Amino acid sequence: MMAKTFAISVLVFWACAVLLARVLEVHGNEIDLQHILATPSLHFWFGSDDLGRDILARVLRGAEVSFLVAIVVTLVNMLVGVSVGVLAGFYGGKVDRLLMHITDVFLAFPGILLAIAFAAVLGPGMLNLVFALCLTGWVSYARLARGQTLSLRNRQHVQAAESLGATPFRLMLRHILPLLTSLLMVEATYSLASIMIAEASLSFLGLGIQAPSASWGAMLRDGVRYMLVAPHYVLIVGLSLMSLILAINLGGDYLRDKLDVKSV
């Protein structure tokens, strides 16, 4: 119960904070050279960075970037992966073997390394970052959807609908996909946390969101250089990222137990 309360409280806090920052048009790009690496105070609640910019404002904008990238990548990965998995499981045979061979090829590469390679080739930027993170993220959805579809394909209600003349598209859309919803929701929850970490990692390496836009990964990279003289910079950004990832994972655990999903 405490984990559930913590997860909901943190997620609601960050969602409200991001929306409020958007409404108030907080950017955090204003440079103030007189307050470089200022410690937390009434003027700078979270202190300032190496250019005198307000860390609180930049943390909020970084949270917005993390949410946006994670949601877009998750939706794309789910659409591609579920389509591939359901088609493979429904038709079986050569279609199944072909699609699963393609899936296995992407699965053979470490996801973050492949994302780093493509981000380096394509160059930094929001769109390239999203594309790089979508390269291998759909694989887990494909394998999950395929395994469940193989099981559901022989259910009596699916066979009954097929005997009544339902088209393959209708069978997949109306009789199989609804039964995958619980598993996909739990998988998407864990995927959100993984994508946020991957986005921060790529930005930390300089392959993600570029200045002057705020990104937690880029802020961590900049803060590491001043860890001894301004430890608040790294600590605040690191704790912000940790709290959000922890809340999402705890929310995923609660959702899995609530929906009675045995394994994902």
* DSSP string for residues in 84-149: HHHHHHHH-HHHHHHHHHHHHHHHTS-HHHHHHHHHHHH-SSHHHHHHHHHHHHHHHHHHHHHHHH
pLDDT on residue 236: 92
Find the DSSP H helices in 164-176: 168-170
The residue among 143 and 261 whose pLDDT is bigger is 143
pLDDT on residue 35: 85
Top mean pLDDT of 5-9, 56-60, 161-165 is at 56-60
Please state, rounded to an integer, the average pLDDT across all residues of the chain.
87
pLDDT band for position 197 (50/70/90)? Answer: very high
Q: What is the DSSP letter of 44?
A: S
pLDDT on residue 28: 81
pLDDT on residue 1: 65
Residue 211 has pLDDT above 80, yes or no: no
Distance CA 179, CA 135 (A): 26
pLDDT on residue 77: 94
Average pLDDT over residues 89-102: 91
Distance CA 213, CA 58 (A): 8
pLDDT on residue 195: 92
Packing angle, helices 55-91 and 216-224, rounded to 10:
130
| Amino acid (one-letter) located at 244 | L
pLDDT band for position 264 (50/70/90)? Answer: very low
pTM above 0.75, yes or no: yes
pLDDT band for position 262 (50/70/90)? Answer: low
Top mean pLDDT of 22-36, 88-102, 161-175, 250-264 is at 88-102
Report CA 231 to chain centroid distance, whole Å.
Answer: 27
The helix/strand/coil state of 54 is: strand
Residue 114 has pLDDT above 60, yes or no: yes
| Residue where the block lists tokens 């949270």 | 63
Residue 263 has pLDDT above 60, yes or no: no
Sign (positive or negative) of CA dihedral 116, 118, 121, 126 = negative
For residue 26, give Cα distances in angstroms to 38, 56, 62, 222, 228. 19, 10, 11, 21, 29
Residue 261 has pLDDT above 60, yes or no: no
Cβ contact 66:17 at 8 Å = no
Average pLDDT over residues 114-142: 84
Distance CA 160, CA 147 (A): 21
The helix/strand/coil state of 40 is: coil
pLDDT on residue 208: 82
CATH annotation of 2-258 = 1.10.3720.10
What residues does each domain of the chain span?
2-258
Secondary structure element (H or E) that encloses residue 20, with its range: helix 2-23
